Each structure stands twice: as structure tokens, then as C-alpha cells.
Structure 1
Amino acid sequence: MNDSLPFYLVLAMRTPDFQPEAGVAHQAFLQDLIEQGLLELTGPFTDGSGGAYILRTTDIETATKIAHNDPLHITGSSTLTVHEWRAHRPRAGE
């Protein structure tokens, strides 16, 4: 992971057209991102409405291009939005 790259939060919210097989392809997509060193965190929401993942890449255009290659997006199973996120670990006194 490159600590100098910004974070991009990808929210994936299920649509009424959600296809379970897209979820399987999505997991393979995430594994590929791990192997490329692009995926920081990932996981589903406990209410079943979707999930999120955090990318580390150069800019929002690249992050959006990556997200638009997600099988959840391609199949219309989820609506994906990408946000640049200035995340940090707070220290005592902040």
C-alpha cells in the first residue's frame, strides 16, 4: 500500500435489480484490487443494503474508473458512488 496516496470511499448500495451472481464476481474483482495493492478496506453493511470499500489511488478519476469496472456497477446490481476521503487517525487532544 502506498501511504502517500489519498483515500477514495466507494459506497455500493444495492438496487432492486441486485443479482447474486454479481456478488460472486464482485468478490473476485476485490481480490484483484488486493493483488494490485489498491484496496485498503472492504465490507458489507450489516443491514444488507450494500457495502463499501476504500481505494488508495492517484485521483478521483482513476478511483471512479476502477469502481465503474466493478461487476456490481456493470450489472446494475448496485449504485456506486466515489468520494475522496481525507481520513486520518485522531490523536489525543484532537
Structure 2
Amino acid sequence: MNRYLILLNRRPSLDPAMVPLHLAFLDGLREEGRVELSGGFSDKSGGAYLLRADDLAEATAIAQRDPAHVSGGWDITVHEWLAH
């Protein structure tokens, strides 16, 4: 599996009720062994997680299931990370 950095930037329209759903989504991915690291930015502007997936298409599909994406409260970008 490859690693993908998922960046989330909060929009002004963020519904705070989506945050626990997003965190539960990450917990589920962590239980599957797909998330290595996750956390919010100290300035509260968003966060990131390191996702394991077979390819960019799979990583993007997983990120698009994230309640953070579905709710429209965050801008999400997916980057393949060539960590050494």
C-alpha cells in the first residue's frame, strides 16, 4: 500500500456537529490499519491524516466518504506522499 496525505481546510460554513462524525470515520479507518497519523492544526484551520491505500483513486474515494467532505465543511485535497 502507498501513503497519501489528506489535507482538510475548514470553510466558514463548517457545521460543528460534523466534527465527531469525522473523528469516528478516522477511528474506523485506524481500526482497518489505513490511518497512520491524524490531527488538527494548532490554529484550528483544519487538519490532516496519513492514509494507506493501493492507489490515488482508492485514496480519493476513501477521502470523499469522510463526513468532512460529504458535509461540505472542509476543502479536502489528496496527495501521494513518497515518504522515505
TM-score (norm 1): 0.87
Distance 2:40 2:63 in 1: 16
* Unaligned runs of at least 5 residues, structure 1: 89-94
Aligned pairs (5 A) from 1:60-79? 60-79=56-75
* Unaligned runs of at least 5 residues, structure 2: none
Shift of 1:87: 1.0
Deviations, residues 47-82 of structure 1 (Å, cap 9, x unaligned): 110000000110000000000000011001101000
Instruction: Give the corresponding residue for 1:11.
Output: 7
Q: What stretches of structure 1 move > 2 A for 4+ residues in a row? A: none
Percent of aligned positions that are identical: 49
**Which structure has the larger Rg over C-alpha atoms?**
1
Provide the aligned length of Structure 1 versus Structure 2.
84
Q: CA RMSD in A?
A: 0.6
TM-score (norm 2): 0.97
Query: Among residues 67, 80, 85, which one is paired with 2:76 in the alignment?
Result: 80
